[in-house]
């Protein structure tokens, strides 16, 4: 009599349970990793905007609220920039004040990034995330 070899349903259930446990552990870490990467992308763009604002101040003696063409001229892949810069995760705006010349750059979270906290950067380089100092 020939014996058939293969896996039993119990062995299959054990493997599926192990894969499920590993997925449950790894997935939240992966999501946190993605959020940090998206936040870093927004922070880099905010720093670029701040640098361009300083250059604009030297030329025009004021800051501008227009980030894209006609203002700072920022264009970057993955972002749509006009009066604001947006992607699926953040909307970045600049609010200038005339006297004395100051500005505040705000990155408001949206979509899957919600819960990560809004980012701000001002003309003095002060950074906050969700109202707390530092990014």
Report phi then psi at 38, rounded to 5: -65, -40
Classify strands 132-133 and 127-129 as parallel, antiparallel or unpaired.
antiparallel
pLDDT at 135: 86
pLDDT above 80 (res 4): no
Q: Which two tokens stand for residue 100?
A: 């004395």
**Predicted confidence (pLDDT) per residue in 10-61, tens digit:** 999 999 999 999 999 999 999 999 999 999 999 999 999 999 999 999 999 9
CA distances from 97 to 6, 7, 20, 46, 80 (A): 74, 71, 53, 17, 24
Query: Does the predicted model carry a pTM greater than 0.75?
Result: yes
What is the spatial distance between Cα 32 and Cα 13, in angstroms, rounded to a whole number?
29
Domain range list for the chain: 9-133
Strand partners, 107: 92, 119
Spatial contact of 44 and 51, defined as CB atoms under 8 Å apart = no
Cα 128-129-135 angle, rounded to 5 deg: 80
């Amino acid at each position: 009599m020939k014996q058939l070899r293969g896996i039993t349903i119990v062995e299959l259930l054990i493997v599926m349970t192990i894969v499920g446990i590993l997925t449950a552990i790894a997935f939240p870490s992966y999501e946190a990793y993605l959020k940090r990467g998206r936040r870093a992308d927004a922070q880099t763009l905010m720093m670029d905007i701040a640098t361009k604002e300083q250059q604009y101040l030297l030329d025009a003696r004021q800051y501008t609220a227009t980030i894209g063409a006609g203002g700072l001229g920022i264009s970057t892949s993955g972002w749509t920039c006009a009066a604001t810069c947006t992607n699926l995760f953040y909307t970045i705006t600049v609010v200038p004040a005339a006297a004395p010349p100051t500005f505040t750059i705000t990155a408001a979270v949206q979509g899957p990034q919600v819960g990560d906290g809004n980012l701000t950067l001002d003309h003095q380089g002060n950074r906050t995330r969700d109202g707390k100092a530092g990014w």
